[in-house]
Amino acid sequence: MGRFRQLETFVAVAESGGFNAAARHLQMSPPSVTRLIAALEDRIGTRLFIRTTRQVSLTEAGERLFHDAVRILAEILQRSRRPPLALTQNRKACSA
């Protein structure tokens, strides 16, 4: 769950253009967003954002991760909306 939350937070910061806006969107505190991004950057071993006092922008590594993260999160969301395969197979077997 921690990695999912880190990716979700990363995408929110990238899309909103700032940590505070992402925090509002995710209903989190700005320090929590900052900690999640710092943990993700530490885990990956590279900076994902160029931070200024007025905005944040993605680094080259951040751009690459952003595209992958959006795809991964969409796939997770899609899979979480359909019943597990085993349950689907059992229902078919029961109705036959």
Q: What pLDDT is stored for residue 83 in this prediction?
A: 67
As a whole number, mean pLDDT of residues 44-60 equals: 94
Count of domains in the chain? 1
Q: What pLDDT is stored for residue 39 in this prediction?
A: 97
As a whole number, mean pLDDT of residues 75-96 equals: 63
Q: Range of 33's domain? A: 2-95
The domain that contains 62 carries what CATH number? 1.10.10.10
CA 50 to chain centroid:
18
Q: What pLDDT is stored for residue 41 in this prediction?
A: 97
Query: Which ranges of the chain does DSSP label H, i.e. alpha helix?
Result: 2-16, 19-26, 30-44, 60-80, 85-95
At 95, the pLDDT band (50, 70, 90 cuts) reads very low
Q: What pLDDT is stored for residue 78 in this prediction?
A: 87
pTM here is: 0.80
